[in-house]
Structure 1
Amino acid sequence: MILLAALAAAPLDAKPAQPTEQQRLAARASAVTITRDRLGIAHVRGTTDADAVFGMIYAQAEDDFPRIETNYLTSLGRLAEADGEKALWSDLRQRLWIDPAELQTRYGASPAWLRRLMDAWADGLNFYLATHPGTRPRVLTRFEPWMALAFSEGSIGGDISYVDLEPLKALYDGKAARAALARDEAPQGSNGIAIAPKRSASGNALLLINPHTSFFFRDVVQMTSAEGLNAYGAVTWGQFFIYQGFNARAGWMHTSSGLDNRDEFAVRLARMADGRLGYRFGGDVRPMGMKPISIRVRQADGTLATRSFTTLHTMHGPVIRSEGGRLVSFAIMDNPVKALEQSFRRTKATSLKQLMEVSALRANSSNNTLFADAAGNIAYLHPQFVPLRDHRFDYRGVVDGSDPRTAWRGLHTVDSLPNLINPPSGFAFNVNDAPWPGAGKGSLEARRFPAYMDQWGWNPRTDHALALLEGTHGFTAEGLRAAAYDTANPGFDKLLPALFAAYDRLPRGDRRRRALAEPIALLKGWDRRWSKDSEALGLAVQWAETMWAQALGSDRPPNDEEVGYQRMTSAPAHVHLTALEQAVARLTELYGSWRVKWGDINRFQRNDGAIEQTFDDRKPSIAVGFPSARWGSLAAFEASTYPGTRKRYGVRGNSFVAVVEFTAQGPRAMAVTAGGVHGNPASPHFADQAQAYADGRLQPVPFDPRDVAAQAVAVYRPGERR
């Protein structure tokens, strides 16, 4: 009776209690399973694509939440809230394009399926924070779905990063003082090779995935759903799409491109009729856009101060500096919704036809793509965001933005780009060079394309890749792996003859004949291949680095490797000999002898979880045989000494390396990643791949559900205790 009375008293329109945020997220987690294999790699399975995104980003946060947060602080232009004044100008640069209010509007206008993925992304990160109270974010205690649009393209440096901070500061700070801003001069890039069935031993297509990035820049995951998603590979921390990897039928690899699709437009200032600031465009005066931006900056006492700026914009883009009495605007792709859509849809493309359909979005601005599929197709695709421009102007420099003829006129169609689709040679490659020899010498004619299609030209890896590919048939997966670690350094084939000639021309009585006799003999007897035991390699690298610094100094043209080699080989004889004397002296200073085994000084070390770790000669490290890609090695290890160290420690180069064969039964792959997938030094997966990485020893990838189950170490749902 009491129950009936209660029911009778209840309002007829009573609604069931709504679940709390935590209950809603926990219910979402119940649709996700995470399987960790013996290397700690997460294999995430969800009912829907959104479920897979939820679980994948949760697993990433388990692996290294600090890197996720740092990537979004950087992308949102909020890094100064954590790092203080030193991040102020990079934040301002980012905020010239990244406006939270605008991103929220774009999120609301996104396709419904993409909003579901962004919602799941935010939910996964927030559920991780809710279930891991021990994780202390520096700033971002809650993620909103629209934030995913701030970081929609997974390359190591987005288009915005090309804006020089020094003149930006001079313009908006109102001071002419130079900013103490370091320039990263190490080569950055990647190798991608696709092998067609006609050149493979098995008759199956093969793909080499070999990005050269800063170490620990990406996690490795597999994400699957009942909606057709099934992708494995490297994912940039905090993003919800596999950036470089493969699915059940196809694979894709990105290399940084020398395409010029970022332009600088200088405009002449003028006053509007009403006195407002404007700029000339043809015979008109257009109003100068003005946008207030406020940035919070962490102070030494932990409080936040606000710095406010009024930034300027023209029709071409934000104003980034003043030059010769004119203001310079920077024009780049600014379509994060399409960029995110293309990045995710690419992971579900199982054929060349589907890849081309996705590429038609034309929202990939910075990367070439190497592709192979189970049907035997291979391809090299140029970046698809390529503005149409007037060929009479040189867009590789600053153009007159007040001249209407220089304005962008839409985009090139995909079929008008320098692509290579199923080339007759049976291979396609890119090593951050021009696309012209990408399927063999003469496979594309540069004169048929506008000059802005490439500004990087040649590098010594071009010669290396061509020598390996043009001379080889019957590739196996192991053969492609061996090619990726081929020990030749063809750059020294170009550089050393000038040094030898300079030495041989020395007068008989010149003191350098005796002083340099042994170093010259060592280099002349060297086969120019890398190995951990090579003494000649250490001497050659030290000499070449000295030559490089003198040849280029602070001058960094877009085609710096092409220019650098030209300048080094044509340098006067005394420059070559002096550089060798300096190299001998430097090695002796550091190691007590100029004869030292390369592996004794070229080391991999991961001793803390910091994004910029501190190296220490007293702590364990691992010998690495391969050197910088600058000297033509396909395998790359960019290393140098650091304050307090004598040994050289790597910070970028080979990061995730994979070889995939696309068989009728599914992909067969092997891979390795730098160090390990976990960012916590206490984890067994912090550095468990370090030795395999240094040895170039790729491990079989569990992709099929049966293989994943056989290697399973832990199976759980997000939020469950492990």
Structure 2
Amino acid sequence: MTQVPKTRVSRRRVLGTAAGLAVAATGARAGTAFAGTEHGTSDETRWRRHAARVTITRDDWGIPHVVGESDADAVFGMMYAQAEDDFNRIEQNYLVALGRLAEAEGESALWQDLRQRLFLDPADLRKDYAKCPQWLRTLMRAWADGLNYYLATHPEVRPRVLDRFEPWMPLSFSEGSIGGDIESVLLTQLEAFYAGRDVPMTDEERGLVLREPTGSNGFAVAPSHTRDGHALLLINPHTSFFFRSEQHVTSREGIDVYGAATWGQFFIYQGFNAHTGWMHTSSGVDNIDEFAETIVTAPDGTRSYRYGDALRPVTTKRITLSYRTEAGGQDERTFTTYATHHGPVVREADGKWITCALMNKPVEALKQSFLRTTTGNYADYLRVAGLRANSSNNTLFADSKGEIAFLMPQFMPVRSDRFDYLKPVDGSDPATDWRGLHGLDSMPRVVNPKNGWTFNTNNWPWTAAGADSADSPRAADYPRYFDKVGENPRGPQAERVLTARDDFTPRTLIDAAFDPYLTAFARLLPGLVAAWERLPAGDPRRKALAGPVGLLRDWDHRWSAKSTATSVAVFWGEDIWALTSQAAADARLSVWDYIADRATDTQRLAALETATGRLVRDFGDWRVAWGDINRFQRNDGAIVQQFSDDRPSIPVPFASSRWGSLASFGAKAYPGTKRYYGTSGNSFVAVVEFGPRVRAWAVTAGGASGHPDSPHFDDQAGIYASGDLRPVYFHPDDLEGHVERRYRPGR
């Protein structure tokens, strides 16, 4: 049995600490004078002590391998290395998380900041930090120290706003997901309510814009289905490019973890240690709810809301936000906000105020995020999951004992299944209230299935061990709020590649993750071909579309850089999606189901006409290779890239996950471009083998550094596009012969 370090055991004894959620303003940047701390040690002294106990080794891909004497030293070095690679993204993430983006970007960002601050209170955050167990406060202090030491030793770096980091700030950004729960609140409707004016919803908010799916793939394969008898794990998050930092973090106290950390966080979000590995996929559970409140206004102007037979006072709070003016200074705006026991008021609909309830457990979330990286087996991992502070992610798990599992988000409120929580429920009816949280045993999961594998592709949980497997959860056994998204085209594709063999190796699992079959087009294109075949003999479209239809009819539905059929299919898919998305929404069907089952011949053929017309207009012919359209380009360190057809780029063969591609590349044309440039999809990809000695292979989109003058800015672009993962240097002897630089922070 794996021995757990005593420091981990002591931490587990304090997992139940209560928490709230908040943010606070930062102070002045550390410079020539260093402030003291609550321990009476100056910042400068403490920083230098940490730095003397940390070694950072950069391998030949620029990946930092951080070694610290203590866990706190390792966190210090981890944050220092992140800041070296991309301080800009760290600051951006905390401007968003702290509700301070408008201080950098101006008044237009006030509504995003207000949305954050409706759920995050500065005073509460400081109180939460003070209540944290000592071990966690020590890590949070080291987090701030690592960033502040970087700024103190790099005066050339000019933060936009955050020139000093405080140790409570990690509580504002504690889970690591690409989009937090708060983003479910629509900004236009928030503005309409608190500005007192009509603000129409955007087409994107209404779901009418062709939007790249976000999410991930995770596969866990048991020893029974691997050639060498070792469990395998595929880590394949689909996020914005350059969203996470690849790192290896080790301490003499026991941390030894590798993977991807979201910029600015001190835990590995997707990754593995010597014994366990975890992959998160965005979940389709419904655990964010809206309540329609009946508001009663008294003659003196005070407001109450109806709850059962009683009236309760509406909570009011004034929130003051700063924003950057056009002249470059700072101004302020104050909002009076409202809340009930369900949550803050976020909009109005049909004469009701709508409140939003979501997970608000920052201390527990931060504990769970860090402690999972120290687990030694499945039972260990499940104990940490017992904090129930993961709200947005499924987990695919594997360990060195050969156990595999699929878990759903552990934050799942218990509710009455007679209400449809996909719509606002009646807040005046006490029966709609949350009734505590589900226990882990009462939620859908898969543990060591007999079929030898489990997966998730952001689809429903009911096929996690296969559509026909008795080990997959049954929808009839659970409340309907455990799934709101249904199936997607990657689900059947994952089953297809996982059932293809029972002798997986790391290499063949990588091949499966990059299998080029596009299940959506295999389902949708026969309807297009049939529509063309039904055209009368004299219809001019029969001749005009014969070439594209023939190409698609004979296609094997596999992407490749040289494939012209992929180009025609993707352009047709985009155009028919635009034609049918509103009707699909009205029918409460997925767009895939609507196109397959309800699209008319006229819609199918019209989309093909416009698709081929676009190809001819932009590329001179409808027969253009997919790799000539679909490109990877990284020009600078900006968070939002500006693309150009005149700058170098490389072809990418895989397509959007929308069409069933497991290897995802979310690309589109931008102002001034004809080619498509990717900004999301496969980002950090890894395959891990849990043998007696853990082995792994990985790739990061572009490279490890956010600096264009670094050799590691785009040195992984070629292997990223080819799916040729590089070996991970996890063990010290793996690093031998691959060391580019070894140093201490500040030197």
State the distance in 2 between where 1:112 and 1:615 align.
Answer: 47
Could you list the per-position Cα deviations for residues 476-498 of structure 1 after superposition, in whole angstroms to 9, with x for gaps in the alignment?
A: 00000000000100111110011
Q: Deviations over 1:96-121 (max 9, x none)?
A: 01112111110000111111110000
Contact 2:523 2:596 in 1 (8 A): no
The answer for the alignment partner of 1:80 in structure 2 is 102
Residue 271 of structure 1 deviates from its aligned partner by 3.9
**Superposition pairs of residues 460-479 of structure 1, within 5 angstroms:** 460-479=489-508
User: What residue number does 2:119 align with?
Assistant: 97
Equivalent residue, structure 2, for 1:155: 177
2:236 aligned counterpart, secondary structure: strand
Aligned partners of 1:98, 1:146: CA distance in 2, in Å? Answer: 12
Matches within 5 A, 1:13-32: 20-32=42-54
- 1:19 offset after TM fit, Å? 5.8
2:657 aligns with 629
Shift of 1:470: 2.0
Equivalent runs, 1:374-523 vs 2, <5 Å: 374-442=400-468, 443-523=472-552
Verify the 8 A CA contact 1:54 1:121 in the aligned structure 2: yes
Of 593, 604, 612, the residue aligned with 1:576 is: 604
Give the superposition deviation at 1:471.
2.8
1:167 alignment counterpart? 189
* Secondary structure in 1 matching 2:739: coil
* SS, match of residue 266 in structure 1: strand
State the Cα distance separating 1:469 from its structure 2 match: 1.2
**Partners of 1:285 and 1:463 in 2: how far apart?**
51
Query: CA, structure 1 residues 137+211, in 2 after alignment: closer, same or farther (shift >3 Å)?
Result: same
Matched residues in 1 for 2:244 and 2:233: separation? Answer: 19
TM score, norm. by length of structure 1? 0.95
> 2 CA distance for matches of 1:411 and 1:695?
44
1:673 paired with 2:671, answer no
In structure 2, runs of 5+ residues without a counterpart are 1-38
The worse-fitting range, judged by mean Cα deviation, of 173-182 and 506-515 is 173-182
Cα distance between partner residues in 2 of 1:526 and 1:573? 20
**Letter in structure 2 aligned against 1:514:** K
Letter of the 1:588 counterpart: V
1:230-245 matched pairs, under 5 angstroms:
230-245=256-271
1:186 partner SS: coil
The amino acid across from 1:247 in the alignment is: N
Contact 1:204 1:662 in 2 (8 A): yes
Match of 1:550 among 556, 579, 583: 579
1:174 CA drift (Å): 1.4
Q: Tell me, in whole angstroms, the C-alpha distance in 1 between the residues paired with 2:597 and 2:269.
A: 38
Contact 2:292 2:424 in 1 (8 A): yes
Write the letter of the residue equivalent to 2:696: A
Q: Once the two structures are superposed, what CA deviation does each residue of 1:374-400 show, in whole Å capped at 9, x if it has no partner?
A: 000000001000000011111111100
Task: Give the conservation status (yes or no) of the 8 Å contact 2:584–2:591.
Answer: no
Question: What whole-Å deviation, never above 9, does each CA across 1:222-274 have from its counterpart, x for those lacking one?
Answer: 10111211100001000000000000111000000000000000110114697
RMSD of aligned Cα (Å): 1.6
Letter in 1 for 2:137: R
Q: Are 1:494 and 1:569, in contact at CA under 8 Å, matched by a contact in 2?
A: no
* Secondary structure of 2:62 counterpart: coil
| Partner amino acid, structure 1, of 2:718 | Q
The corresponding residue for 1:293 is 319
Whether the 8 Å contact between 1:49 and 1:226 is mirrored in structure 2 is yes
Post-superposition offset of 1:509: 0.4
Q: TM-score, normalised by structure 2?
A: 0.92
Q: Distance in 1 between matches of 2:491 and 2:507?
A: 21
- Describe the shift of the 1:143–1:686 C-alpha distance in structure 2 as closer, same or farther (beyond 3 A): same
The alpha-carbon distance between structure 1 residues 559 and 617, as it changes in their structure 2 partners (threshold 3 A), is farther
Partner of 1:113: 135
Query: Matched residues in 2 for 1:104 and 1:347: separation?
Result: 26
Distance 1:179 1:496 in 2: 33
2:661 is equivalent to residue 610 of structure 1: no
Give distance in 2, aligned partners of 1:673 and 1:146.
30
* Distance across 2 between alignment mates of 1:116 and 1:564: 50
Match of 1:639 among 648, 667, 691: 667
Question: Does the 8 Å contact 1:456/1:559 carry over to 2?
Answer: no
Is the counterpart of residue 223 in structure 1 residue 243 in structure 2? no
Deviations 1:584-617 (A, max 9, x none): 1011010011110000110000011100010010
Distance in 2 (alpha carbons) for counterparts of 1:28 and 1:241: 18
Q: How far 1:559 sits from its partner (Å)?
A: 8.4
- What code does the residue aligned with 2:694 have? P
Aligned residue type for 2:67:
R
Percent of aligned positions that are identical: 55
CA contact (8 A) 1:429 1:438 kept: yes
Q: CA deviation at 1:310?
A: 0.5
Equivalent position to 1:320, from 338, 346, 363: 346
Give the Cα–Cα distance (whole angstroms) in 2 for the partners of residues 559 and 340 of structure 1: 37
Contact preservation (8 Å) 2:189, 2:199: no
Take 1:164 and 1:278, find their aligned partners in 2: how far apart are those partners?
24
CA distance in 1 between counterparts of 2:394 and 2:586 reads 20
Question: How far apart, in 1, do the equivalents of 2:40 and 2:250 lie?
Answer: 30
Distance 1:19 1:207 in 2: 44
Separation in 2 of the partners of 1:548 and 1:719? 53
* Unpaired runs of at least 5, structure 1: 1-16
1:428-480 residue CA offsets vs partner (Å, 9 max, x unmatched): 00000001110111422100000000011111111101111123110000000
Q: Which residue does the alignment assign to 2:362?
A: 336
Aligned CA distance change for structure 1 residues 316 and 555 (closer, same or farther; 3 Å): farther
Structure 1 residues 304, 244: CA separation in 2 closer, same or farther (over 3 Å shift)?
same
Moved more, 326-335 or 433-442: 433-442
**What is the rounded CA distance, in whole Å, between the counterparts of 1:708 and 1:94 in structure 2?**
42
Residues 1:356 and 2:376 are matched in the alignment: no
Residue 455 of structure 1 contacts residue 559 of structure 1 at CA under 8 Å; is this kept in 2? no
Partner of 1:346: 372
Q: Give 1:359-370 correspondences, 5 Å limit.
A: 359-370=385-396
Q: 1:169–1:179: 8 Å Cα contact kept in structure 2?
A: no
Conservation of the 8 A alpha-carbon contact between 2:635 and 2:641: yes
CA shift, 1:555, in A, is 7.2
Q: What is the Cα deviation at residue 21 of structure 1?
A: 2.3
Q: Which residue of 2 aligns with 1:4?
A: none
| Secondary structure of residue in 2 paired with 1:499 | helix
Q: Which moved more, 1:443-452 or 1:181-190?
A: 181-190
1:53 paired residue number:
75
Q: Distance in 1 between matches of 2:186 and 2:173?
A: 20
Shift of 1:278: 0.5
Residues 545 and 84 (structure 1 numbering): CA distance in 2 closer, same or farther, change over 3 Å? same
* Partner residue, 1:201: 227
Equivalent of residue 138 in structure 1, options 157, 160, 166: 160
The answer on whether the counterparts of 2:577 and 2:591 sit within 8 Å (CA) in structure 1 is: no
Looking at structure 2, the residues matched to 582 and 567 of structure 1 have their Cα atoms a distance apart, in angstroms, of 16
Cα drift, residue 568 of structure 1: 4.5
8 A Cα contact 1:36 1:712, kept in partner = yes
> What letter corresponds to residue 344 of structure 1 in structure 2?
F
* Contact 1:212–1:654, Cα closer than 8 Å, also in 2: yes
How many Å separate the matches in 1 of 2:743 and 2:727?
A: 23
Q: What is the SS of the residue equivalent to 2:168?
A: helix
Change (3 A) 1:181 1:468: closer
SS in 1 for 2:125: helix
Q: Deviations over 1:673-718 (max 9, x none)?
A: 1000111101111000000000101000000012124321111111
Distance 1:268 1:23 in 2: 57
Aligned to 1:77, what secondary structure does the other structure show?
coil
Counterpart residue type for residue 348 of structure 1: T
Q: Deviations over 1:193-221 (max 9, x none)?
A: 00000000000000000000000000100
